[in-house]
Amino acid sequence: MTNEQREGRRSSGPRRSQEIFDATLDLLAERGYEGLTIEGVAERSGVNKTTIYRWWPSKGALLGSALIGGRQLDLALPDTGSLRGDLEALLRSVTALLTTSPAAEVAIATLGAVTHSSELAGHVRGFFAERLAREQPIFERAVTRGELPPDTDPMLLVDLLAGAAWLRIVFRQLPLDEHFVTRAVDTVLTGAAPAVRTGGPSAS
């Protein structure tokens, strides 16, 4: 995250918002969405609960801000010099987030809560949109380097890779190794089918 982004966040919240966000995600990881309360966040962060309520009228609203502003889900944006390198680093970060405490507990608890709260679902949608916006430079650089056509849809590439990681870790509960990362990126970049055979019915 850039300093500018952190400043931008700070200006739209109370002074100690970083502590509030971190406490919110810690409590979510420990207790789940049901166990998350603004009182608990106040206690953990040492910020008066009336201050928190002044900025966030509900725990859903607070969690929405914390998902974006908390350190637990922060993602270092790679700049390796190649699209392949950047996507592998990005996918490695996503798999690390989904398998390492406390980010994994935060992600899984949020996932569970999305299905129970339409308000929270809106915040999760905002989280994914913000993350994609931050990932745009990866794709802009790739287009500039001639690694991707200008009409590439970054969201599609991100969703294929992150969705596969998510499905594999959360639903299949299978370990993700480096082999998964390199093969998934390779498939998305160069395709699973030999180029000469993918034209359609002529291959059959």
Residues that bind a second copy (CB under 8 A): 32, 81-84, 108-109, 111-116, 121-122, 124-125, 128-129, 145-149, 152-153, 155-157, 159-168, 170-173, 180, 183-184, 187-195, 197-198, 200-201, 203-204
Handedness of CA 121, 126, 131, 132 (dihedral sign): positive
Q: How far is the CB of 9 from a second copy (least distance, A)?
A: 21
Q: How far is the CB of 202 from a second copy (least distance, A)?
A: 9
Between 5 and 82, name the residue whose CB sits nearer to a second copy: 82
Between 12 and 190, name the residue whose CB sits nearer to a second copy: 190
DSSP per-residue codes, the chain: --HHHHHHHHTTS-TTHHHHHHHHHHHHHHHHHHH--HHHHHHHHT--HHHHHHH-SSHHHHHHHHHHH-STT--PPP--SSHHHHHHHHHHHHHHHHHSTTHHHHHHHHHHHHTT-HHHHHHHHHHHHHHHHHHHHHHHHHHHTTSS-TT--HHHHHHHHHHHHHIIIIIS-----HHHHHHHHHHHHH-SS-GGGTTSGGG-
Q: How far is the CB of 14 from a second copy (least distance, A)?
A: 28
Q: How far is the CB of 160 from a second copy (least distance, A)?
A: 5
Q: How far is the CB of 156 from a second copy (least distance, A)?
A: 6
Between 26 and 42, name the residue whose CB sits nearer to a second copy: 26
CA distance 63 to 36: 9
Q: How far is the CB of 49 from a second copy (least distance, A)?
A: 27
Between 71 and 197, name the residue whose CB sits nearer to a second copy: 197
Between 51 and 187, name the residue whose CB sits nearer to a second copy: 187
Find where tokens 């970054």 sit: 154
Between 49 and 168, name the residue whose CB sits nearer to a second copy: 168
CA distance 204 to 197: 9
